[in-house]
Amino acid sequence: MMDKARVDLNGRTILVTGSPGFIGANLALRLLGELTGGTIISLDSMNDYYDPGLKAYRLGLIEAAAKASPVKHVFVKGSIADRALLEDVFERYKPSVVVNLAAQAGVRYSIDHPDAYIESNLVGFFNVLEACRHHPVAHLVYASSSSVYGGNKKVPFSTEDKVDNPVSLYAATKKSNELLAHSYAKLYDIPCTGLRFFTVYGPAGRPDMFYYSATQRLARGESIRLFNYGNCKRDFTYIDDIVEGVYRVMQGAPARATGEDGLPLPPYAVYNIGGGQPENLLDYVDALQRALVEAGVLPADYDFEAHKRLAPMQPGDVPVTYADSGPLERDYGFRPSIGIEEGLLRFAQWYMAYYG
C-alpha cells in the first residue's frame, strides 16, 4: 500500500483541463455537486476533432450546475499547448489541484494526424508540468490510457507490467506522459498520479467511440464494421465509474518522502481504472442493440444482422484490454461496478433525448 497525503478539495481552486470534454465535463459536474466551496476552472480548446456542439452542450450542463452550486466555475477557452495562456491561468487562479484530461484522443486518428498528438499530448503536458513546477500544487492527476499496454499478452494488465512496445503514436504519447510526470515528481517533488483509463463510454460521450458511432450509423440505416471479425475484448468502463475513481484519487496524493540517499523519493503513482470485466465485442453489440430498441432509438423489428460487417484488424488496435484494478481498490477503496447492460441503456436513453 502506498502512503497518501490527504487532499481536502473543499475551498480549493481545481483546474480541470479538457473540460468540457467527455470525462472532464462529468468530473466538473461531480465537483460542483459535491463540494461546499472553492473554484473549478474548466480549460478546453473546443476544437472540432468531433462535433463542437457536444462540448457546448456539456459546457451548458456545467454552467447550469454552477448556478445551483456553492462552488464557482470559470471557463477558459484555450489550448494547454499555449504556454503563455497556461502560465496566465496559474498566475491568476493559483490552482492547488490540477486534473489534466486535455489530450488529442483516438488511436486511429493518430495514424494520419500525428502532429495533433505531439502538440497536445507532449508539448501541452510539458506545459502543465512546468506550470505545476513554478506554481506548486498539492496534487497533479493526469489521464494516461490502457493503450500503453500495446499488444501485451499477459492479462489482466497490471501497472507492474512492462509497457515499452506501443502500437500507436497515441499510446506512445501517453507512455511519455508517465515518464515526464515521473521525472518532474522526482526533480521537483510534485505529487503526480497517472490514471490508465480503459474504454470509457456513456451519455454525451465521444462520437468517435465505437458504441456512439455504431448507434449513429445504425440510426441512419448504415452498416457497422466489427474489426478483427468481432474477436475483440474490451474492458468497457462506464463514465460514472471513471469519475468516481478520479474523484477519490484527487483526494489522496502520493506522500512526499525522503530516500536513504537523503534525496526526495518521487511522489508518483499510476493506477488502472477499468471495469475488470472484459466484454466480447459481439456481446457488447448485442447489449447495445437491446438498449437502442428499449430506448426507442431503433424499432423492435430492426434487422441488425443485415447491418453488420466483419472486418480485419485495424492498425494501432489491440485484440484485448483487461484492467487489474486491484491497487485502486486497495489504496482508494473503489472498484468500477456498472455493467454494460445498465451503462448502454443510459447512453441509449440520453441519445434518444438528445437527438430525438
Kindly report the average pLDDT of the chain as a whole number: 94
Q: Which three cell numbers mark 39? A: 473554484
Summarised one tens digit per residue, pLDDT across range 52-93 is: 999 999 999 999 999 999 999 999 999 999 999 999 999 999
CA distances from 287 to 39, 68, 280, 294, 339 (A): 39, 36, 11, 11, 10
Using alpha carbons, select from 102, 97, 37 the residue that is nearest to residue 73.
Answer: 37
Q: How confident is the model at residue 186 (pLDDT cuts 50, 70, 90)?
A: very high
Q: What is the domain class of 4-199+236-276+322-337 according to CATH?
A: alpha beta
Instruction: Summarize the confidence of residues 109-120 as an average pLDDT.
Output: 91
What is the secondary structure of 9-68 as a DSSP string?
-TT-EEEEETTTSHHHHHHHHHHHHH-SS-EEEEEE---SSS-HHHHHHHHHHHHHHHHT
- Cβ atoms of residues 33 and 92 within 8 Å: no
User: For residues 249 and 4, what is the distance between their CA atoms, to the nearest angstrom?
Assistant: 10
Q: Which pLDDT belongs to residue 259?
A: 87
* pLDDT above 90 (res 267): yes
Summarised one tens digit per residue, pLDDT across range 12-39 is: 999 999 999 999 999 999 999 999 999 9
Q: Which pLDDT belongs to residue 262?
A: 87
* pLDDT above 90 (res 339): yes
Task: Please classify residue 182 by burial: count the beta carbons closer than 10 Å to its beta carbon, then call 0-12 exposed, 13-18 middle and 19+ buried.
Answer: middle
| Helix (H) or strand (E) run with residue 6 in it | strand 4-6
CA distances from 180 to 33, 55, 177, 188 (A): 33, 29, 5, 12
Tally of CA atoms within 13 A in the half-sphere of 185 that contains its CB: 27
Q: Which pLDDT belongs to residue 183?
A: 97
* pLDDT above 80 (res 206): yes
- Cβ atoms of residues 254 and 4 within 8 Å: yes
SS3 (DSSP) at 76: strand
Summarised one tens digit per residue, pLDDT across range 282-333 is: 999 999 999 999 999 999 999 999 999 999 888 777 788 899 999 999 999 9
Q: Which pLDDT belongs to residue 110?
A: 85
Partners of 200 in the beta sheet? Answer: 237
Q: Which pLDDT belongs to residue 109?
A: 83
Q: Which pLDDT belongs to residue 15?
A: 98
Using alpha carbons, select from 224, 273, 12, 279 the residue that is nearest to residue 138.
Answer: 12
CA distances from 168 to 182, 233, 315 (A): 22, 18, 8
Q: Which pLDDT belongs to residue 1?
A: 74
Q: How confident is the model at residue 155 (pLDDT cuts 50, 70, 90)?
A: confident
Partners of 99 in the beta sheet? Answer: 16, 141
What is the secondary structure of 184-245 as a DSSP string?
HHHHH---EEEEEE--EE-TT--TTSHHHHHHHHHHTT--EEEGGGG--EE--EEHHHHHHH
Phi, psi (5° rounding) for residue 95? -65, 140
Q: How confident is the model at residue 108 (pLDDT cuts 50, 70, 90)?
A: confident
Handedness of CA 137, 139, 143, 146 (dihedral sign): positive
Summarised one tens digit per residue, pLDDT across range 57-67 is: 999 999 999 99
User: For residues 35 and 13, what is the distance between their CA atoms, to the nearest angstrom?
Assistant: 11
Among 179-193, 213-227, 270-284, 293-307, the least confident range:
270-284
Domain definitions of the chain by residue range: 4-199+236-276+322-337
The residues assigned a catalytic role are 170
